[in-house]
A and B are shown apart, each in its own frame.
Chain A
Amino acid sequence: MSSLKAQMSEGNAVQSDGKWVLEALDQYEAKLLRFARSIVGEAQAADVVQDTFLRLCKQPERDVRGHLAAWLFTVCRNRALSQLRSERRLQNMEDDDVQPHPDSGPATKFERKEQLTRVGRAIRELPERQREALLLKLDGGLSYKEIAEVMQLSVSNVGFILHQAVQAIRNEIASESALPAVARRMS
């Protein structure tokens, strides 16, 4: 119930210094970074998250009170997506052969560590929307409603996407573990 407590103190506290931003930073820094990295490259993700918090600094606390997480992830996502688009555009402008940036594209982004576990690979290979929703839910701790808001989807759509994501990962894990057995049998 720690998240519930956080909710309540968020709602009640009237803080007079920038402390609330720093608390948000501690709480969401890693989560936002992981989320941003699933959209853009590692370097840009840091830009995006820093930008998100700098924007938070400009908000009166009362404006984000009670929905801080949704606010942060929405801004973070918007920044990441526009970053992604401008990156692609700049590439198009710089040279005509559209070589994907070595550090761009959701698939490579997420794979930072060379040896990914089965689950890691399964997450990485999810369609973009499913991966985003999954991270928002399981890492960000957002409710369906909040995810719907961040991703501009309906709540029931979120439920469906998450269900698909879970099933996809489940199948991926199952098939992976099944694969060596099949291979053995065939040889």
Chain B
Amino acid sequence: MSTEQEDVKLTAYALGELSAEDAATLERELAESPERQGELQAITATLDAVREEVKKDDAALSARRREQIETAAQRSDADDAPEAGADPGAKLEPKVVPFTPKRSRRGRLIGAVFAASAAAAAAAGVFLVQSAEHRGLSEHSESAGYKKLPSKFKSPAQAPAPTTAASAASVADDQPGDGKEDLAREKGQDPGRFNRERYDHVVDNAFVRVSTDPRSTFSVDVDTASYALTRRHLNDGQLPPKGAVRIEEMVNYFQYEYPEPTGPHPFSVSSDVASAPWAPEHRLVRIGLKGKHVPPRDVPGTNLVFLIDVSGSMSDENKLPLLKRSFGLLVDQLGAEDSVAIVVYAGASGLVLPATPGNQKQTILSALERLDAGGSTNGGEGIRLAYAEAKKRFVPGGINRVLLATDGDFNVGTTSESELVDLIEAKAKSGVFLSVLGLGGGNYNDSTLEKLADKGNGNYAYIDTLREARKVLVEQATGTLMTIAKDVKIQVEFNPTEVEAFRLIGYENRVLAHQDFNDDKKDAGEIGADHTVTALYEVVPRGGAVPGPKGDELKYQAPRAPSPAAAAGELMTVKLRYKQPAGDVSQLLEVAVRDGRGTMQNANADFRFAAAVAGFGMLLRESPYKGSSSFEQVLGLAGNTNASEARSEFLALVRRAAQLKRSAN
């Protein structure tokens, strides 16, 4: 053994890092070599001097920072509780190994060292959760600047995966999600157990008896993120978490052939009725809205501010790099009258590109190109900066929009989520709207992003591929960017002579109180140019059995007699309220719906497809109302349509889900 290796050992010994056995051997050697003893003393003295020096610097966080951490700490357990409860199987079974004290600060005197190692050897029966080696598997560590990983850290297949180890590896890294999902998948485990993605828990809307409440009120929703999220999960080989499946967003992902608006209103309203495929004794009602087409020449100036999250977690290929290409597509469509500014946020927020005319594409694109992920996230400050920039170039009557692109890690920094939501709500009133583009996975914060877009009079899309980016930012760019009606609310009144009960499919987090329908102060969803919005009701015809528990009869009220209008044979009346994009006063629109008594088999392909998507959503959500739906039924309904690219992809996803479900059972 070379002298240097001997010295390495001596240092390890002085630091208490030798095993009891090695320590004993070394101690025997030491006893015979005064020279080595001197060496050890020198090392120990050096270590002590360093310790002493380091401790002189009594570093502390400012009171404000501490306070923020304390607040977050109190909040944290509330956040985690449902996750922990959701999966009782996630209980840890820590792998234990005998503990040898590696940390005891062995001392200044050799005598003390002997005593300590004797104690260590005696400390049998003390166990410690195994921690080290297996946790080094940071496959995504490029972002932190190390590329030269020892090979044993690189292969997830080689990595033993005790639960603690796997989760620690993922959380300790900058990109927790992907690593752990990969790892879990390799091991054939349920990746959901490590998942930090946040989805709000959604309970399916239940059947409502018309005798108790004949009305249904909700806000429109043109978000589509849920479909893209579902797609990502399925393409990753896993069924999506139920909370990630929002049926209305799945249905609204697709464009439907509703008539162009012709009257004074900026959108058209149409309806279809047919038998519900999953419960043939029920009727399925489709309400379709179509926003007017705005020819590009009529689009007034566009003032865009890209607000881009460049925190470390964004460095994945499917985040910042994808985003750069996506925004590139959007920039390609801009002209001299438009402008783009770029604001980034991470540990510090900064204006990367001041408002630049849309025809200076090279300037914009190279600014985008230079973006690089790194740093922590302070979304709040970035949003403020972005709105300030948007205000500078405000185009009256034009598109003024902040496009926030993030994987959603928002809780860092000086701003709480509710403050952020308040800020965005206030800014939306000033005419600057917000679009949210969600990216990546792992620590993806779906619920916050949806809320932000919602309050910012904006829309929310999830970008998982460049194709999706093209859909959102090119094909539907005017819809994404140009709002033609805001605060669009729908209230449906059912006719008690025709309908026993009804159920709104999806829109669970869009339900409004009935009185809010006429309250212009209440915020609701927006419709963009060319957007289509679809809502589905499942209706139990008069006298039919209503699924779910039956409420008691009212003691003090008899059912009211129907009005003369009820005899007209109408199933329901759909009322809509909306405001012009710059307006404050809502306008009302009413449409009556009749049941043509048709079956789903004979319904038009477009309606059948919408029903198929809803059925698929219910299956993925394992909805209590899924009735006789099956993946085969979904394929049958959707399969006869003229398959566009998007719809063919849907069919592939259904097959994939069916496969996953089969193998899960």
Contact = CB atoms under 8 A, between A and B. Distances in A.
Contacts of A142: 103
Contacts of A145: 102, 131-133
B111 interface: no
B372 A85 contact: yes
Interface stretch (B63-71, B562-570, B585-593, B644-652): B63-71
A54 B69 contact: yes
Contact of A67 (B70, B73, B135): B135
A63 B167 CA distance: 6
Interface stretch (B43-51, B230-238, B271-279, B654-662): B43-51
Nearest to A30: B59
Interface in A100-148: 112-113, 117, 119-120, 123, 134-135, 137-139, 141-146, 148
B60 A33 contact: yes
A137 B94 CA distance: 25
A135 B136 CA distance: 19
A85 B131 contact: no
B501 interface: no
Interface stretch (B344-352, B462-470, B513-521): B344-352
B124 interface: no
B664 interface: no
Contacts of A149: 131-133, 135-136
Interface in B47-93: 47, 49-55, 57-62, 65-66, 68-70, 72-77, 79-80, 83-84, 92
A71 B171 contact: yes
A79 to B, nearest CB: 6
A30 to B, nearest CB: 5
A50 B72 CA distance: 11
Contacts of B146: 152
A70 B7 contact: no
A137 B8 CA distance: 15
B132 A148 contact: yes
Interface residues of A, number: 87
Contact of B42 (A1, A155, A170): A170
B131 A58 contact: no
A60 interface: yes
B24 interface: no
B7 A167 contact: yes
A66 B73 CA distance: 19
Nearest to A34: B59
Contact of A123 (B43, B53, B55, B102): B53
A54 B410 CA distance: 11
A152 B196 CA distance: 24
Interface stretch (B137-145, B241-249, B615-623): B137-145
Contact of B376 (A7, A71, A83): A83
Given A74-B172, A86-B310, A135-B54, A60 B83 contact: yes
Given A64-B171, A67-B168, A4 B17 contact: no
A55 B171 CA distance: 9
Contacts of B150: 152-154
Contact of A139 (B51, B84, B153): B51
Contacts of A3: 103-105
A43 to B, nearest CB: 10
Interface centre among A58, A139, A153, A162 (most CB of B within 10 A): A58
A145 B100 CA distance: 12
A46 B57 CA distance: 14
Contacts of B372: 85-86, 89
Nearest to A44: B347
A78 B312 contact: yes
Contacts of A143: 17, 102-103, 132
Interface in A136-185: 137-139, 141-146, 148-149, 152-155, 159-160, 162-163, 166-167, 169-170, 173
8 contacts: A3-B105, A4-B103, A4-B126, A18-B70, A30-B59, A54-B68, A78-B143, A123-B50
Closest 3 CB pairs of A and B: A18-B73, A66-B129, A145-B132
Interface of B: 4, 7-9, 11-12, 15, 17, 42-43, 46-47, 49-55, 57-62, 65-66, 68-70, 72-77, 79-80, 83-84, 92, 94, 99, 101-105, 119, 123, 126-129, 131-133, 135-136, 138, 141, 143-146, 149-150, 153, 164, 167-168, 171-174, 196, 310, 312, 346-348, 350, 352, 370, 372-377, 411-412
Given A29-B66, A82-B375, A139-B55, 11 more contacts: A4-B103, A8-B126, A18-B70, A21-B73, A63-B164, A85-B372, A85-B374, A120-B53, A137-B15, A159-B17, A166-B11
